[in-house]
Amino acid sequence: MQVNKPDGDKLYRRTRYYQSIIDGDLLAVGTDYDELNPCIIIFICPFDAFGKNRHVYTFRNYCEQDKDLELGDAATKMFLNTKGTVDDVTDDVKAFLDYVDGIISNDEFVKEIDAEIKEVKKIEQERVSYMTFVAKDFMFEETTLWKTYTID
């Protein structure tokens, strides 16, 4: 899953790249193709990548001549649009997309996500503080050792 900015066709073509990376990592030489798991690539966009005002655009591989005939490669690409206006998602999904767009609601799922993100940020801040302390301590020790062993 990736939050994206508009960049034209590059955004759409990036789905092919991600699909190839995922599939390449799953299959070693000689591995049976049945071992490929279903794959869903999700882009979360703070803009409407297709201009149809939908919240969700789902793509699979279909036959050009018969749209009812799906290829069955178990590959799906989804684009979630935080700016959608069509009534095409549940309230929970809408609340999540609003959250991604900076709007916090009273939705329980959104509250859980917000709490987890705050916890991760707190842990990251503690890690950075600790690493800064260790770096300063190391620099102090190096300076002290240098002064101790420097011949005047």
- The most confident of 24-28, 96-100, 140-144, by mean pLDDT: 96-100
Task: Name the pLDDT band for 81 (thresholds 50, 70, 90).
Answer: very high
Q: Is the pLDDT of residue 57 over 90?
A: yes
What number is the average pLDDT over the span 82-108?
94
The structure tokens listed for 43 are 């882009």
> Cα separation of 102 and 82, whole Å?
10
What number is the average pLDDT over the span 43-50?
93
The structure tokens listed for 36 are 């490929």
Element spanning 40, H or E: strand 39-45
DSSP 8-state symbol, 8: T
Q: What's the pTM value of the predicted model, to 2 decimals?
A: 0.72
pLDDT of residue 32: 82
pLDDT of residue 138: 61
The structure tokens listed for 30 are 């000689």
Please return the burial class of 79, using the count of CB atoms within 10 Å of its CB with bins 0-12, 13-18 and 19+: buried
pLDDT of residue 145: 53
